[in-house]
Amino acid sequence: MARYTGAVCRLCRREGQKLFLKGDRCYTDKCAIDRRAFAPGQHGNARNKKMSEYGMQLREKQKARRYYGVLESQFRKYFEMASQRKGVTGENLLSILETRLDNVVYRLGFAMSRAEARQLVRHGHFTVNGKKVDIPSYLVKPGETIALKGKTLDKIKASLEANGSRKAPKWLEFDANNLSANVAAMPAREDIDMPIEEHLIVELYSK
């Protein structure tokens, strides 16, 4: 399957803000944004760069894609799903992205980054309603239960300890004793703390 294999810190610098793609490194002074707060490339540090309307829309779409680690074809598919649902298309899009299994694993604190969560899911460490699911793009639904399968890995223990102060979102009911969570509802816009202006993405795809 196609995937981005380049330096992920370049993606943060390109978007001009932390996308938290490298887990705990993003919280240290080694973070690329803290050290070089300008876009990569020969002209990345140029000043007075004025961005067009299309450029702002494109950057917002790219930022959302990179936050959740999805390809362009996947992202467009999610947008089409969102446009067919009732409600605000942009909010529907973010809600769909939030319900990806790899994102849920990350939100619950089992992993330090979505990339790490994606790897854990692929290796079959989680179940949905008691059945092993190794597809990171699986979309969870209200009423389903996500649980850790088998022995708790040292990596997961370390992540849970490091993320102890980070609470699971309201739409996920986390059971710390059994290391499981129930999907209480679909995430609402106020439950998603991403600095994304989703209306710009809708405008881009509506052209």
Encode pLDDT of 137-152 as tens digits.
Answer: 999 999 999 999 987 7
> Does residue 188 contact residue 83 with C-beta atoms inside 8 Å?
no
Give the helix/strand (H/E) hosting 126.
strand 126-128
The pLDDT of residue 6 is 55
Token code pair at residue 7? 């330096």
Give the helix/strand (H/E) hosting 79.
helix 72-84
For the chain, which ranges sit under pLDDT 70?
1-49, 164-166
The pLDDT of residue 110 is 93
Q: Which of 171, 170, 169, 148 is nearest to 159 (CA)?
A: 148
> Does residue 159 contact residue 110 with C-beta atoms inside 8 Å?
yes
Task: Please tell me the distance from the alpha carbon of residue 95 to that of residue 109, in angstroms, as a whole number.
Answer: 19
Neighbouring CB atoms inside 10 A of 28's CB total: 9
> Does residue 147 contact residue 131 with C-beta atoms inside 8 Å?
no
The pLDDT of residue 58 is 92
Does the reported pTM lie above 0.75?
Answer: yes
The pLDDT of residue 1 is 43
Task: Please tell me the distance from the alpha carbon of residue 13 to that of residue 37, in angstroms, as a whole number.
Answer: 6
Query: What letter represents residue 27's amino acid?
Result: Y
Helices 72-84 and 198-205, interaxial angle, to 10°? 90
Q: Which of 74, 89, 65, 62 is nearest to 203 (CA)?
A: 89
Residue 190 DSSP label: G
Q: Is the dihedral of CA 66, 170, 168, 120 positive or negative?
A: negative
> Does residue 60 contact residue 53 with C-beta atoms inside 8 Å?
no
> Does residue 191 contact residue 169 with C-beta atoms inside 8 Å?
yes
The pLDDT of residue 38 is 53
* The residue count for the chain: 207
